């Protein structure tokens, strides 16, 4: 009732759920972070999480502020690894190195590991961009300039333009009237989420340059039509090979499993020009070359 005094405590229990795998991450967490003010809150949280904490101790208790910073720090750390790898990929392109060889070389160091060191067109979604900006903003509110976090965001923004730059260079700046097939619209596989997706930056730049786009994605095509459905130069297709029909180039943006082993012969017979842009470094360049393709990939020498 109003005016009635009730004792309560505030606890912070940040989630660590990957989009597309949230249920598994909740049912089988690798850690459970809890920020508490007192022993009573800790006891209640231990009771609540007991069914998910049977195999081994996963619960980490700390103060509320530290638990909130843990959440932002985890995503900022992962985003930093992605941006650093993309920065290295851009250097690799300029010095004639292969970022895939570099990735294997540094990933074999157990201090670094293989997670989140894949070069690509930049991160998107609702978590990494928001959390990096939020942590940087919080730092500024407390009189501190988080230069690395700001650089992570700047590098990621620049990286999202890279696929277009590769295409534009490959066509000598003459993209007007070209037809570009795009495989993958969501910011990552197993979701229809296009928030801050690299595909948006690519499509906007292609339309600005006068190109038309034929796109495919297993989940996000209807989402894309909300943004581009009124533009006659943008179309979606239920089959990825239909999307490539008559295209001057095919760009892989999102690494859905159905894109990993393309039918190069079918692509060669249906595309107008044999140009591939691998935004995820998953297509063997030598295989594409055997089928007459020119292949561009992030952080790797172009072939063909």
pLDDT tens-digit readout, 136-166 = 999 999 999 999 999 999 999 999 999 999 9
The more confident residue out of 8 and 79 is 79
Active centre residues (catalytic) = 127
Segment among 2-16, 121-135, 208-222, 283-297 with least mean pLDDT: 2-16
Rounded average pLDDT over 196-205: 98
Find the range with the poorest average confidence among 12-21, 189-198, 255-264, 283-292. Answer: 12-21
- Of residues 5 and 198, the one with the higher pLDDT is 198
Mean pLDDT, range 51-56, rounded to an integer: 82
Is the pLDDT at 107 greater than 70, yes or no? yes
Mean pLDDT of 9-22: 84
For residue 27, is pLDDT > 90? no
Q: For position 293, what pLDDT does the model report?
A: 97
pLDDT band of residue 20 (cuts 50, 70, 90) is confident
DSSP string over the chain: -TT--------B------TT-HHHHHHS-S-EEEE-SSHHHHHHHHHHHGGGSSSS--EEEE-HHHHHHHHHHHHHHHHHHHHHHHHHHHHHHHHT--HHHHHHHHHTSTTT-STT----S---SSSHHHHHHHHHHHHHHTT---HHHHHHHHHHHHHTTHHHHHHHHHTTT--TT-EEEEE--SSSTT----TT-HHHHHHHHHHHTT-EEEEE-TTTHHHHHHHHTT-TTEEE-SSHHHHTTT-SEEEE-S--GGGSS--HHHHHHH-SS-EEEESSS-S-HHHHHHTT-EEEETTEEEE-
Q: What is the pLDDT of residue 57?
A: 87
Average pLDDT, the chain: 95
Percent share of the chain, pLDDT over 70: 100
- pLDDT tens, residue by residue, 77-94: 999 999 999 999 999 999
pLDDT, residue 56, reads 81
Task: Decide if pLDDT at 176 tops 80.
Answer: yes
pLDDT at 1: 63
Query: How confident is the model over 86-109, as a mean pLDDT?
Result: 97
pLDDT band at residue 6 using 50, 70 and 90 as cut-offs? confident
């Amino acid at each position: 009732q109003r005016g009635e005094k009730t004792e309560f405590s505030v606890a912070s229990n940040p989630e660590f759920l990957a989009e597309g795998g949230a249920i598994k991450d909740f049912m089988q967490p690798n850690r459970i972070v809890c920020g508490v003010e007192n022993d009573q809150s800790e006891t209640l949280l231990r009771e609540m999480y007991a069914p998910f904490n049977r195999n081994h101790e996963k619960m980490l208790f700390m103060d509320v502020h530290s638990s909130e910073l843990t959440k932002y720090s985890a995503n900022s750390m992962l985003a930093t690894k992605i941006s650093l790898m993309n920065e290295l990929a851009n250097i690799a392109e300029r010095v004639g190195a292969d970022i895939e060889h570099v990735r294997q070389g540094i990933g074999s160091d157990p201090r670094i590991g293989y997670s989140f060191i894949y070069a690509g067109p930049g991160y998107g979604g609702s978590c990494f961009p928001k959390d990096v900006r939020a942590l940087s903003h919080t730092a500024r509110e407390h009189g501190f300039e988080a230069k690395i976090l700001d650089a992570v965001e700047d590098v990621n923004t620049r990286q999202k333009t890279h696929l277009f730059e590769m295409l534009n260079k490959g066509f000598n700046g003459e993209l007007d009237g070209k037809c570009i097939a795009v495989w993958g619209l969501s910011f990552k596989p197993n979701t229809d989420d296009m928030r801050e997706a690299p595909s948006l930056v690519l499509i906007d730049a292609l339309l600005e340059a006068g190109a038309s786009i034929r796109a495919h994605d297993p989940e996000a095509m209807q989402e894309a039509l909300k943004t581009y459905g009124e533009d006659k130069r943008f179309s979606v297709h239920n089959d990825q090979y239909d999307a490539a029909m008559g295209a001057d180039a095919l760009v892989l943006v999102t690494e859905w499993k159905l894109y990993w082993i393309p039918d190069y012969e079918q692509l060669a017979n249906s595309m107008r020009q044999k140009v591939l842009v691998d935004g995820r470094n998953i297509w063997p360049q030598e295989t594409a070359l055997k089928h007459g393709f020119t292949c561009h990939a992030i952080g790797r020498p172009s072939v063909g």
